[in-house]
């Protein structure tokens, strides 16, 4: 594996049959930068062939799960670049959602944008009581990606999913659990402890039925990702995305022109 940029890490640690993946990118609050997600994919792909890995936990360091995509590194200038960027990102989502290993997300702090997509691609979401959830893609002139348009309605229903995606609704952990976005709450600072308990239980189950159940429940994801790949690439090149990105980096409200 090639080295990650300085200040960015993915820690892979074993707890018996459980593999714990920790995103550690403090400068951007664990934003899902391209090198970070490429490393996560490489580690998970290796784990797919390791029969001693029976379950996976995905978490973030420093009290934040993931602050979203890394806009500072998002510079899509043509259709081919956009489509390739998404193709590579989908490899990680497919492994989480349809790979053979059960995956538990351990969420502390903010879980935003691409971070929400990442969590919803996992099988079980454990959240600290002070965690917060938001999509927010529309604020930068983009649609939800990394499969969220498929995985979020499967958890909360179409109406609630539209509320989260269209109105940039921020959800507390309690509200997220009430509507089915979160599966289990944990005391603040204890999400990883509870997530490991859930993962150890899953690691003790017969792996074959779990893998096949995941494969069946991921039906339709590939078609959703292919449609998203086309639509999001168009949006990458839009004037509204350029305005949204500029506004985000300047910390001002965007003014969208519909172009």
Q: Domain limits at 124?
A: 1-188+207-259
In what order do the strands lie in the sheet containing 103-107?
A: 9-15, 18-24, 55-60, 103-107, 124-128, 184-186
Average pLDDT over the chain, rounded to whole?
95
Q: Quote the pTM value.
A: 0.95
Q: What is the mean pLDDT of residues 6-22?
A: 97
- Tell me, yes or no, whether 174 lies in a domain: yes
Pairwise CA distance, residues 196 & 20, whole Å: 9
- Tell me, yes or no, whether 139 lies in a domain: yes
Pairwise CA distance, residues 249 & 30, whole Å: 17
- Tell me, yes or no, whether 194 lies in a domain: no
- Tell me, yes or no, whether 114 lies in a domain: yes
pLDDT in tens, 97-120: 999 999 999 999 999 999 999 999
pLDDT beyond 80 at 2 = no
- Tell me, yes or no, whether 67 lies in a domain: yes
Between β-strands 132-134 and 110-112, what pairing exists: parallel, antiparallel or unpaired?
Answer: parallel
Pairwise CA distance, residues 74 & 85, whole Å: 10
Q: What are phi and psi of 113, to 5 degrees?
A: 55, -120
pLDDT in tens, 230-247: 999 999 999 999 999 899
Q: In this predicted structure, what is the pLDDT of residue 73?
A: 67
- Tell me, yes or no, whether 202 lies in a domain: no
Task: Kindly tell me the sign of the dihedral angle through the C-alpha atoms of 191, 155, 147, 68.
Answer: negative
What is the tally of structural domains in the chain? 1
- Which among 38, 77, 48, 44 is positioned nearest to 58, based on CA atoms? 44
pLDDT beyond 70 at 181 = yes
CATH number at residue 48: 3.90.226.10
Q: In this predicted structure, what is the pLDDT of residue 76?
A: 79
Q: In this predicted structure, what is the pLDDT of residue 112?
A: 97
Q: What is the mean pLDDT of residues 39-67?
A: 97
Pairwise CA distance, residues 180 & 201, whole Å: 21
Band the pLDDT of 1: cuts 50, 70, 90. low
- Tell me, yes or no, whether 196 lies in a domain: no
- Tell me, yes or no, whether 200 lies in a domain: no
């Amino acid at each position: 594996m090639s080295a990650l940029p300085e200040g960015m890490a993915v820690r892979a640690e074993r707890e018996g049959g459980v593999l714990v993946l920790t995103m550690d990118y403090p400068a951007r609050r664990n934003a899902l930068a391209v090198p970070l997600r490429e490393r996560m994919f490489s580690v998970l792909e290796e784990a797919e062939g390791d029969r001693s890995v029976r379950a996976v936990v995905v978490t973030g360091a420093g009290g934040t799960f993931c602050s979203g995509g890394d806009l500072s590194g998002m510079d899509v200038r043509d259709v081919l670049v956009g489509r390739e960027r998404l193709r590579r990102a989908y490899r990680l989502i497919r492994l989480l959602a349809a790979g053979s290993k059960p995956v538990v997300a351990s969420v502390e702090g903010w879980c935003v944008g691409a971070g929400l997509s990442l969590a919803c691609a996992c099988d079980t979401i454990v959240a600290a009581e002070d965690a917060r959830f938001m999509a927010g893609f529309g604020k930068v002139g983009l649609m939800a990606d990394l499969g969220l348009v498929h995985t979020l309605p499967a958890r909360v229903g179409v109406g609630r999913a539209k509320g989260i995606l269209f109105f940039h609704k921020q959800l507390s952990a309690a509200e997220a659990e009430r509507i089915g976005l979160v599966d289990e709450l944990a005391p603040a600072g204890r999400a990883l402890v509870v997530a490991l308990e859930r993962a150890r239980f899953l690691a003790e189950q017969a792996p074959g039925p779990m893998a096949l159940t995941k494969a069946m429940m991921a039906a339709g994801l590939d078609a959703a990702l292919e449609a998203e790949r086309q639509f999001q690439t168009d949006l990458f090149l839009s004037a509204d995305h350029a305005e949204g990105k500029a506004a985000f980096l300047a910390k001002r409200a965007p003014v969208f022109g519909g172009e």
